[in-house]
Chain A
Amino acid sequence: MSNSEFKFSPENIERINKEIAKYPEKKPAVMATLYIAQEQNGYISNEVIKEVATILEMTSEDVLGVVTFYTMYFQKPMGKHHIQVCTNVSCMLRGGYEIWNQVKEKLGLDNMGVSADQKFSLEEVECMGSCGTAPMIAVNEDYYENLTKEKVEEIINSLK
């Protein structure tokens, strides 16, 4: 996989161009472009970095610098269902660590672990802005709030 080239789909090129149009130069579109790349490729490979750099007229080093600065870009394939558990204070006070341990055990994964079948990956995350509806988990882009152990069990069992 590491030798194959990465090219954006024509629809995604169009989306990237829309992002570029928001700014006086191309570089600021890098964050959105990386999201689009991650959506298409599953993660940010070296080939993705090269292609993003070419399109946005940046150096690969600058793109890599952005990728590594932010926690939401992944440099390895993650699970189809990326489970994020918040354990920061407000969640912790309402059982965040119980849920973290429950999910860890259920999936047999540690922080940033990926299951062998690539179905699940797990991440302990910082405050997600759900402190008033704590505890919470997120599965990919979706928040699940006001959780109990039973609800967490149900959510994970429902993931295909």
Chain B
Amino acid sequence: MEKIVLPDIENIHILDVYIENGGFSAAKKAFAQTSDEVIDQVKKSGLRGRGGAAFSAGLKWSFMPKTTDKPKYLCINGDESEPGSFKDRQIFEYNPHQLIEGILITAYAIGAKVAYIYIRGEYHKWVKLMQKALDDAYAAGYVGEAMKEKFGTDFFCNIYVHKGAGAYICGEESSLMNSLEGKRGYPRVKPPFPAQNGLWGCPTTINNVETITNIPPIISKGWDWFSKIGEPKHPGTILFGVSGHVNKPGVYELPSGTLLTDIIYNYAGGVPGNKDILCVIPGGSSMPPLRGDQLEGVKMDAESLKAAGSAIGTGGIMVMDEDTDLVKVLARISHFYHHESCGQCTPCREGTGWLEKILKRILAGNGSVSDIDLLITVANQIEGNTICALGEAAAWPVRFMVTRFRDYFEARVSKEVNLKVANKVHSMRHTEFPLAEVKN
């Protein structure tokens, strides 16, 4: 299987090795075309964002105004703080120059002269690795003013690394822009969208690290080649991060549409002790959890997962075996969103606190059946009533976990049933679960 984002080439993170392997030839090719031609190829390739929402990259670029007297900006989202996600750090470490080249091509396509790579603060090591790669690329004349001569064009772009400081919400694109501007990372009300009113009020495009690392191969090998990899409606490879109860956790770059069970049992080596799977969250902790008996035939791409009642998110697959305490898991997830809520909207600020409180009550053995309904009520009140999608991120895991594992939660609030028995009850009663609609 061909790997596009993390190719098996030794030392590809070193500039010379990258260049020996055809590095920066895609940029040269792109600069010889018009920006519209470049956007058109990315559109046709079918590339969709890898940061969570799986939005068409080419379409997003085309929203940037063609004529404006304001500067335009590109932001690369490397905040990577969604629990279960650890893929962008692989790019910073193992293939940073392909990201840099992707940034140059994207900046050219949208007409940006400055790009910022926003990297989460905890990634000290990866900030340094990315900065080192950037320094090398600058020194060799591939970035900044010098690239005019290198590539023989009028176009040039500066790239800077901006280090975050520990706030999950800064991965949300408008929060990221406020954070970059030196403000508290509060998400902004949309519209206006970033393409109209982004960084410092100027047209801005925001893309995920993995999304942009796909660009050079699309340009050099052609949109047609890319569009044929994996599932036609969400083509390319995806960096799947597998964590939790598997024998070989890690990041696997595989074609979109690879079977979830194939990833878990084949690539990630199956479940320790050959236990059954109780639950899988397929796209990072914000995405709707799937039951163990729902995994057969589920393909890992945006459309298939939507049909299966979840979403691709960041491709972070969290596997939980039959002995997992799901109440504990959900309480921990709810603690996270409560902790990370920026507090601007009442439904999110208060609601996430309620979700956590109720789940901790159930966990402590003081829950009742009405608490289960209360969880769903609170989740429903958050969803759709907030400025940013952290509201949904907090509500989805609760609403879907509780409805899909209703029998399990009922067993857990009954004083007579202990955890082991609750897990048994669930695995014996494969109830018809409501395939509740997922709003994307």
Query: Is A141 interfacial (CB 8 A cutoff)?
Result: yes
Inside 8 A of A130's CB, which chain B residues have their CB? 86
CA distance A138 to B181 in the complex (A): 28
A70 touches B164 (CB 8 A): yes
Q: Which of A4-12, A112-120, A121-129 contacts B (4 or more CB under 8 A)?
A: A121-129
Closest to A22 in B: B160
A49 interface residue per 8 A CB criterion: no
A3 vs chain B, min Cβ distance (A): 27
The residues in A between 76 and 122 inclusive whose CB is less than 8 angstroms from any CB of B are 87-90, 92-94
A92 and B328 in contact, given A22-B162, A126-B168, A141-B125 (Cβ under 8 angstroms)? yes
Is A133 interfacial (CB-CB < 8 Å)? yes
Cβ–Cβ contact B86 & A132, under 8 A = yes
Chain B: interface residue count, which band?
35 or more
Nearest-neighbour CB distance to chain A for B407, whole angstroms, equals 22
Q: Would B167 and A69 count as touching, CB distance under 8 A?
A: yes
- How many inter-chain residue pairs (CB < 8 Å) link A and B? 139
Tell me whether B329 and A71 are in contact (CB under 8 A).
no
Q: In B50-76, which residues have CB < 8 Å from any A CB?
A: 71
Nearest neighbor of B122 in chain A, beta-carbon distance:
A128
In the complex, chain B residues whose CB is within 8 Å of the CB of A125: 122
Question: What residues of A have a CB within 8 angstroms of the CB of B340 in the complex?
Answer: 126
Q: Which of A5-60 contact B (CB under 8 A)?
A: 22-25, 27-32, 34-35, 56, 58
Q: Which residues of A contact B200 (CB under 8 A)?
A: 24-25
Given contacts A24-B200, A93-B318, contact A66 B182 (CB under 8 A): yes
Q: Are B181 and A27 in contact (CB under 8 A)?
A: yes
What residues of B have a CB within 8 angstroms of the CB of A35 in the complex? Answer: 121, 163, 165
A101 CB, nearest partner CB in chain B, Å:
14
Cβ–Cβ contact A129 & B122, under 8 A: yes
Residues of A within 8 A of B320 (CB): 93
Smallest CB gap from B73: residue in A: A24
**Selected contact of B243 from candidates A32, A70, A134, CB within 8 Å:** A134
Which of A25, A56, A90, A141 is within 8 Å of B318, CB to CB?
Answer: A90
A131 within 8 Å of B (CB atoms): yes
B166, B182, B318: the one contacting A71 at CB < 8 Å is B166
Expressed in whole angstroms, the Cα–Cα distance for A32 and B80 within the complex equals 19
Q: Do A31 and B163 have beta carbons less than 8 Å apart?
A: yes
- In the bound complex, residues from chain B placing their C-beta under 8 Å from that of A142 are 124-125
A159 interface residue, CB < 8 Å from B? Answer: no
Mark the stretch among B18-26, B230-238, B244-252, B372-380 that contacts chain A.
B244-252
Q: Which 3 A-B pairs have the closest CB atoms?
A: A70-B165, A71-B166, A27-B182
